[in-house]
Structure 1
Amino acid sequence: MTDYEAVTTFLGQWGPFQQRVFFLLSLSIIPNGFSGLSIVFLADTPSHRCLVPASANLTAAWRNSSIPLEEESRGGAFAPSKCSRYKLDVIQSFSERGLLPGIDVNLSDVQQEGCLDGWEYDRSMYISTIVSEWDLVCDDKWKNPLTSSLFFCGVLTGSFISGQLSDRFGRKIVLFATMVVQTLFTLIQVFSPSWAVFCAMFFIVGLGQISNYVAAFVLGTEILNPPVREVFSTVGVCVFFGVGYMLLPLLAFLIRDWRMLLLALSMPGFLGVPLWWFIPESPRWLLSQGRVEEAEAILRDAAKKNKVQAPQVIFSAVQKDLQSEKREAHNICDLLRSRNIRWVSVTLWLVWNILTIAYFALSLNTSNLHGSAYFNCFLSAVIELPAYALSWLLFRCCPRRLSLFSTLCLGGLVLLLIQLIPENLISLAIALEMIAKFSVTAAFAIVYAYSAELYPTVLRNTAVGACSMASRLGSISAPYFIYLRSYSVSLPYILIGSLTALSGLLSLLLPESFGMPLPDTIAHMQEFPGCCKKRPYRLTQTTGEEERATENKISLAVS
């Protein structure tokens, strides 16, 4: 097949067509910054204690002493219990007899009971969250991390099906279909009558969220030429995701009720629908499906927008190949079929999985840090912008493996250092956590673009979707890494830091793609270290017979 990038050089690098594709696809990513991390505020747990009903006949002294004090997990300080109170009928009898708590009655001898009348929540920070509305505390506190995990289960499902649908039916239709799914079900969530319904809707939102992100990412990667592609894949989509992430704490600060906050977050999604008429389908994908005329029509329209002259026949060699060979349908099983692509896939899945644990655990942990949850979340979002800039510089100038290795190991080592910081140096601990978030974010931007470079056009969307799908095991478990804080504050940092440093070492096993064109077929992929060597795929013109001969040799070697 004639090399796509060599054929399309007549378009130039940064004309009006490329600018439109770059910015419109990036704009479509902004709602993903909302839905992916909105749970930080939707499911935050306000300070709470057992409700003592106003109808209880208690004096002021006994009402103030009706909640037992418990030692907190660290620091040795005592705070009112969140899940128990003194037996109401007992202290009512003491109150009626005029006895005083702690003077006439030893409170340690008074029996305790659960929060039989519900809970009283601190409303100074939130008017309501799903925790305060459905009492997801005490015996039901396990539902809180499960809410986030069910969202990521939806992301897992979306990663599994959307990549194959996109490779089968096209990048554009999957992008806009899943954008509509995400927006509509976010809106439906506003009217959830129960926690179970909220979680069911959140699952579908997660399904749409990852699907349109991956489709937009791959569509831009395939349309744009190499220099612009590097900026788009490491800075473009990531910065616009970060913009959505930064707007989240600002909206949450202004809107303290979770239903109204969700309603506000669903509105920008409707603005993406008109983009259908301005974003084209991927010519690379159309060519892989044998739809040469449609691919040429898009490129001729692009040439007109860029005010350049398109060749009379753009894909003549492609047409000859398509007439002489039967196009083979590919699916997710092809990621494991041959030795080379299998090792690339397994290694990438492990790296993505661990990286996702670190990214989402650090993002979801912002509400547990000292100080304002709104400011900490905003700081966590702002720190991503220089991280994306760094990822672009590394991606532009440095080998892919070195870039991924350095950012992952830096993040892992910083997380391991946090546990050594004295408790009184809170600012230093937060600064180190933000440095770790900076490193992990840069690694996330790099691994997305790196993965798209390693896989061929015929499998690219399926492969990136499969990597995203594998990583969702990490995002599903990330809320439970934060849950380990209830046993030890240092335990999450030790586990996440060790795993992140390990993933950095794993990344060194991957093949290098720096300076290589995007592969179009499985035969064009770079070799995994340890596999049989072959000549790297370079910018040359290869006939259909040569390409098929190479693929046949690999098939014979595998069999």
Structure 2
Amino acid sequence: MAFQELLDQVGDLGKYQILQMVLIFPTLMMLLCQIFLENFTAAIPGHRCWVNILDNDTVSDNDTEILSPDALLRISIPMDSDLRPDKCHRFIHPQWQLLHVNGTFTNMTEPDKETCLDGWVYDQSSFPSTIITEWDLVCSYQSQKSVVQFLFMTGMLVGGLIGGHLSDRWLVEPARWLIINNKPEEGLKALRKVAHINGMKNAGDILTMEGLRSSMQDELEAAQTKTTVCDLFCTPDLRKRICLLLFVRFATIVPFYGITINLQHFGSNIFLFQVVFGALTALVRCLPLLVQNHMGRRTTQTVFMFLVGLSILANTFVPQEMQTLRVALASAGISFAAASSTSFSIHLIELIPTVLRARALGLDTLASRCGAVLAPLLMTLMAYLSILPWIIYGVFPIMAGLAVLLQPETREMPLLDTIHDVKNNKEFSRKVKEINSSVKMTKV
């Protein structure tokens, strides 16, 4: 609470804070664009087996001029269960009899088929070239697309671990963190900088070392003890909080990336899907800020997580032909996933004390990257059951929603500064509940 008083003097939401958001936005956009680019660079176009009689340019026109391309396709490629040309098989020999009587014969044996031994022919109307067409990642090799995406996400994980340490050399550290970590001079300098940018001209008289020490005496005394990542697990309360937080973050990211990097699963017009999903994701980010003040942190996040899981599970059993419904459910899923991510971030900040918050955010980023790595890898399970990855995407957020209920409610609670505050916060929370219950009884 003492730091909040200092923050009020320098301006808690002014030009400085807005400038920070504006500067970080392009970086986030570049990262997101690179991730979502997978939907286009790894798109799977329509394809069929290459057949000599249809695709060999050296075949004389006189050999096939009496037959149309559709007729040649019919005698060369079998039909799948949806009565469309099979994507992964061809007839060993041309089936000329299929040109007669609509290709139906009684007592006719199944023609011999084989896999695409000579490669594939791709539909280039939407995507002239992708990594799929470049490396023939279709049919029995289709699972390798997920492996490629897995390696890309793994690179992000490794880069985050390395870049996280390098960024400490040039990023401006938050004033609150500096003060709590026994760097009051640097923290005071940062506060004066914020006050100057926000136009708080009289703040310089208040922001002195004496005023800082008197207002944050307890926090500064607690800061004499150095903290490490291990301190997040030193007490039962903190250990429970951080473990649940890491699981919830992991379970939130898995379905988010499961949807966003597999747009082609919901229909063919992925260009439109990308615009719609991007717009919805941006719009709903502010929704938790409005809902949490009325429903509380836990309830809001649990509701969002349940809606994510239910929308994905419902979509799993919707036929491919009902694309409008599939897109609507996917849009709801991605929206609720984005909202739950915002809700989670607020809850994390309020659950972890300031002295450990930076380290907790580091572990949070690690859990997030692990979820992003697992999301594409789950798609390899389609080789065993086509809906299995989507069932897992749906179950994860529901489990996370239940885990959120094990966390304490932090609405209207003071922001924690030290490890000792975690214990005091429990006592303060108990008193607030008693006051709220007595107020309700008085009203009745």
For this structure pair, what is the TM-score category when the shorter chain's length is used for normalisation?
0.7 to 0.9
Contact 2:45 2:122 in 1 (8 A): yes
Contact 2:78 2:91 in 1 (8 A): no
**Distance between the aligned counterparts of 1:428 and 1:526, measured in 2?**
48
Deviation digits for residues 337-378 of structure 1 (CA, Å, limit 9, x no counterpart): 321111111111221222112211122232121341111222
Match in the other structure for 2:186:
294
Q: In structure 2, do the counterparts of structure 1 residues 108 and 138 end up closer, same or farther at CA, with 3 Å as the change threshold?
A: farther
**After the TM superposition, which of the residue ranges 353-362 and 452-461 deviates more from structure 2?**
452-461
**Given the alignment, which residue of 228, 231, 238 partners 1:341?**
238
**Given the alignment, which residue of 64, 69, 84 partners 2:73?**
64
SS of residue in 2 equivalent to 1:458: helix
Q: In structure 2, do the counterparts of structure 1 residues 59 and 420 end up closer, same or farther at CA, with 3 Å as the change threshold?
A: closer
Q: Which amino acid aligns with 2:208?
A: V
Q: In structure 2, do the counterparts of structure 1 residues 283 and 417 end up closer, same or farther at CA, with 3 Å as the change threshold?
A: same
**Distance between the aligned counterparts of 2:357 and 2:32, measured in 1?**
24
Shift of 1:160: 4.8
Deviation digits for residues 268-309 of structure 1 (CA, Å, limit 9, x no counterpart): xxxxxxxxxxxx442123224433222222222222222322
Task: Kindly report which structure 2 residues correspond to 1:153-172, keeping only aligned pairs within 5 A, or say none.
Answer: 153-158=154-159, 160=161, 169=168
Q: Which amino acid aligns with 1:85?
A: R
Structure 2 residue ranges without an equivalent (≥5): 432-444
Deviation digits for residues 212-254 of structure 1 (CA, Å, limit 9, x no counterpart): xxxxxxxxxxxxxxxxxxxxxxxxxxxxxxxxxxxxxxxxxxx
**Distance between the aligned counterparts of 1:459 and 1:447, measured in 2?**
17
* Over 6 Å off, 4+ runs: 104-109, 318-326
SS of residue in 2 equivalent to 1:391: helix
Task: Kindly report which structure 2 residues correspond to 1:417-436, keeping only aligned pairs within 5 A, or say none.
Answer: 417-419=314-316, 421=318, 425-436=322-333
Matched, 1:13 2:22: no
Output the aligned Cα RMSD. 3.5
**Distance between the aligned counterparts of 1:515 and 1:283, measured in 2?**
23
Task: Kindly report which structure 2 residues correspond to 1:213-252, keeping only aligned pairs within 5 A, or say none.
Answer: none
Q: Which amino acid aligns with 1:402?
A: T
Contact 1:387 1:438 in 2 (8 A): yes
Match in the other structure for 1:377:
274
SS of residue in 1 equivalent to 2:408: coil
Q: In structure 2, do the counterparts of structure 1 residues 437 and 115 end up closer, same or farther at CA, with 3 Å as the change threshold?
A: same
**Given the alignment, which residue of 86, 92, 113 partners 1:81?**
86
Shift of 1:390: 1.2
Q: In structure 2, do the counterparts of structure 1 residues 128 and 323 end up closer, same or farther at CA, with 3 Å as the change threshold?
A: closer
Deviation digits for residues 126-177 of structure 1 (CA, Å, limit 9, x no counterpart): 11111111222233222101122222223433555555666xx36x53xxxx
**Given the alignment, which residue of 42, 54, 57 partners 2:57?**
54
Deviation digits for residues 179-203 of structure 1 (CA, Å, limit 9, x no counterpart): xxxxxxxxxxxxxxxxxxxxxxxxx
**After the TM superposition, which of the residue ranges 459-468 and 152-161 deviates more from structure 2?**
152-161
**Distance between the aligned counterparts of 1:323 and 1:455, measured in 2?**
17
Matched, 1:459 2:356: yes
Match in the other structure for 1:304:
196
Match in the other structure for 1:260:
none
Task: Kindly report which structure 2 residues correspond to 1:51-450, keeping only aligned pairs within 5 A, or say none.
Answer: 51-52=50-51, 53-56=56-59, 59=64, 61=67, 63-65=72-74, 67-71=76-80, 76-87=81-92, 102=99, 111-158=112-159, 160=161, 169=168, 173=171, 280-308=172-200, 309=202, 310=204, 311=206, 313-314=208-209, 315-317=212-214, 327-419=224-316, 421=318, 425-450=322-347
Deviation digits for residues 498-519 of structure 1 (CA, Å, limit 9, x no counterpart): 3322221111111222223432
**Distance between the aligned counterparts of 1:348 and 1:433, measured in 2?**
25
Q: Which amino acid aligns with 2:32?
A: G
Q: In structure 2, do the counterparts of structure 1 residues 458 and 154 end up closer, same or farther at CA, with 3 Å as the change threshold?
A: farther
**Distance between the aligned counterparts of 1:412 and 1:323, measured in 2?**
44
**Distance between the aligned counterparts of 2:380 and 2:83, measured in 1?**
21
Q: Which amino acid aligns with 2:57?
A: A
Contact 2:143 2:379 in 1 (8 A): no
Q: In structure 2, do the counterparts of structure 1 residues 493 and 117 end up closer, same or farther at CA, with 3 Å as the change threshold?
A: closer
Contact 1:66 1:85 in 2 (8 A): no
Q: Which amino acid aligns with 1:313?
A: T
Q: In structure 2, do the counterparts of structure 1 residues 473 and 295 end up closer, same or farther at CA, with 3 Å as the change threshold?
A: closer
Contact 2:182 2:223 in 1 (8 A): no
**Distance between the aligned counterparts of 1:365 and 1:441, measured in 2?**
16
Q: In structure 2, do the counterparts of structure 1 residues 497 and 69 end up closer, same or farther at CA, with 3 Å as the change threshold?
A: same
Match in the other structure for 1:277:
none
Q: In structure 2, do the counterparts of structure 1 residues 158 and 423 end up closer, same or farther at CA, with 3 Å as the change threshold?
A: closer
SS of residue in 2 equivalent to 1:514: coil
Contact 1:484 1:492 in 2 (8 A): yes
Q: In structure 2, do the counterparts of structure 1 residues 43 and 537 end up closer, same or farther at CA, with 3 Å as the change threshold?
A: farther
Larger Rg: 2
**Distance between the aligned counterparts of 2:32 and 2:222, measured in 1?**
43
Match in the other structure for 1:45:
44
Contact 2:143 2:380 in 1 (8 A): no
Task: Kindly report which structure 2 residues correspond to 1:472-511, keeping only aligned pairs within 5 A, or say none.
Answer: 472-484=369-381, 490-511=387-408
**Distance between the aligned counterparts of 1:10 and 1:306, measured in 2?**
10
**Distance between the aligned counterparts of 1:55 and 1:109, measured in 2?**
30
TM-score normalized by the length of structure 2:
0.80
**Distance between the aligned counterparts of 1:122 and 1:323, measured in 2?**
66
Contact 1:49 1:82 in 2 (8 A): yes
TM-score normalized by the length of structure 1:
0.65
Q: Which amino acid aligns with 1:299?
A: L
**Distance between the aligned counterparts of 2:377 and 2:410, measured in 1?**
35
**Distance between the aligned counterparts of 1:129 and 1:116, measured in 2?**
21
